[in-house]
Structure 1
Amino acid sequence: MSSQPIFLAIIGLGGVGKAFLTQYEHLRQRLSSQTPSTDLALILARRSKTQVLSERYGGLDASKILQQLDESKKPFLPFDAILEFLENAPGKVVLVDNTSDLELAKQYPTILGKGISIVTPNKKGFSDDIKLWDNIFSAASRGNSHVFHESTVGAGLPVISTLTELIETGDEVTKIEGVFSGTMSFLFNSFQPVGGEGGKFSAEVKKAKDLGYTEPDPRDDLNGLDVARKLTILARIAGLKVESPTSFPVQSLIPKALESCKSGDEFMEKLPEHDDEMEKLKSEASKAGKVLRFVGSIDVGSKSVKVGLEQFDTSHPIAALKGSDNIISFYTKRYGANPLIVQGAGAGGEVTAMGVTGDLIKVIRLLK
Structure 2
Amino acid sequence: MCIRDRHYADWLAAGIHIVTPNKKANSASMQYMEALRAARRQGASHYLYEGTVGAGLPIIQTLRDLRETGDQVHSIEGIFSGTLAYLFNVYDGSVPFSAIVREARQLGYTEPDPRDDLSGIDVARKLIILAREMGLRLELSDVKVESLVPPELASGSIEEFLDGLSRHDEAMKKRYEAARRAGKVLRFVGRVTAEGEATVGVVELDAKHAFANIALTDNVVRFATARYNKNPLIVQGPGAGPEVTAGGVFADLLRLSAYLGARL
Q: Tell me whether the two structures share a fold, i.e. TM-score over 0.5.
A: yes
- Per-residue deviation at 1:138? 1.4
1:138 is matched with 38
Q: Output the CA distance in 2 between the equivalents of 1:107 and 1:154.
A: 24
Q: Output the CA distance in 2 between the equivalents of 1:253 and 1:102.
A: 25
2:165 is matched with 271
- Per-residue deviation at 1:198? 4.9
Alignment partner of 2:197 out of 304, 322, 334: 304
1:343 is matched by which residue type in structure 2?
A: Q
2:59 is matched with 159
- Per-residue deviation at 1:265? 1.6
1:251 is matched with 146
1:295 is matched with 189
Q: Output the CA distance in 2 between the equivalents of 1:337 and 1:199.
A: 38
1:320 is matched with 213
The reply on whether 1:148 has 2:41 as its aligned counterpart is: no
2:61 is matched by which residue type in structure 1?
A: S
1:218 is matched with 114
CA offsets 1:163-207 (integer angstroms, 9 cap, x no match): 011001100000101100011001110113xxxx55211011011
CA RMSD of aligned residues (A): 1.1
1:335 is matched with 228
The reply on whether 1:103 has 2:9 as its aligned counterpart is: no
Q: Output the CA distance in 1 between the equivalents of 2:96 and 2:206.
A: 21
2:149 is matched by which residue type in structure 1?
A: I
The reply on whether 1:174 has 2:74 as its aligned counterpart is: yes
- For the Cα contact (< 8 Å) 2:79–2:220, is it kept in 1? yes
What SS does the aligned partner of 1:318 have?
A: helix
Q: Output the CA distance in 2 between the equivalents of 1:350 and 1:265.
A: 30
- For the Cα contact (< 8 Å) 1:106–1:132, is it kept in 2? no
TM-score computed with the length of structure 1 as normaliser: 0.69
1:78 is matched with none
- Per-residue deviation at 1:354? 0.5
Q: Output the CA distance in 2 between the equivalents of 1:350 and 1:123.
A: 18
In structure 2, stretches of 5+ residues that fail to align are none
- Per-residue deviation at 1:258? 1.9
- Per-residue deviation at 1:102? 2.6
Q: Output the CA distance in 2 between the equivalents of 1:322 and 1:207.
A: 17
In structure 1, stretches of 5+ residues that fail to align are 1-100
How do 1:1-368 and structure 2 match up within 5 A?
102-192=2-92, 197-243=93-139, 245-259=140-154, 261-300=155-194, 302-368=195-261
What SS does the aligned partner of 1:246 have?
A: helix
Q: Output the CA distance in 2 between the equivalents of 1:238 and 1:206.
A: 37
2:22 is matched by which residue type in structure 1?
A: N
Q: Output the CA distance in 1 between the equivalents of 2:159 and 2:52.
A: 28
What SS does the aligned partner of 1:230 have?
A: helix
What is the number of residues matched between the two proteins? 261
Q: Output the CA distance in 1 between the equivalents of 2:229 and 2:243.
A: 34
Q: Output the CA distance in 1 between the equivalents of 2:84 and 2:120.
A: 9
What SS does the aligned partner of 2:164 have?
A: helix
Q: Against the structure 1 CA distance between its residues 105 and 198, is the aligned structure 2 distance closer, same or farther, given a 3 Å change threshold?
A: farther
Q: Output the CA distance in 2 between the equivalents of 1:250 and 1:274.
A: 18
TM-score computed with the length of structure 2 as normaliser: 0.96
- For the Cα contact (< 8 Å) 1:228–1:246, is it kept in 2? no
Q: Output the CA distance in 2 between the equivalents of 1:166 and 1:199.
A: 42
Q: Output the CA distance in 2 between the equivalents of 1:338 and 1:106.
A: 41
Structure of higher RCO (CA pairs closer than 8 Å, 6+ residues apart): 2
Q: Output the CA distance in 1 between the equivalents of 2:229 and 2:191.
A: 18
1:336 is matched by which residue type in structure 2?
A: N
Structure 1 stretches of 4+ with a deviation exceeding 4 A read: none
Q: Output the CA distance in 1 between the equivalents of 2:229 and 2:15.
A: 41
Q: Looking at CA atoms only, which structure, 1 or 2, has the larger radius of gyration?
A: 1
2:3 is matched by which residue type in structure 1?
A: E
What SS does the aligned partner of 2:229 have?
A: coil
- Per-residue deviation at 1:103? 2.2
- Per-residue deviation at 1:362? 0.8
- For the Cα contact (< 8 Å) 2:91–2:100, is it kept in 1? yes
CA offsets 1:307-346 (integer angstroms, 9 cap, x no match): 0010011111101112100000000001121110000000
What SS does the aligned partner of 2:210 have?
A: coil
Q: Output the CA distance in 1 between the equivalents of 2:32 and 2:152.
A: 35
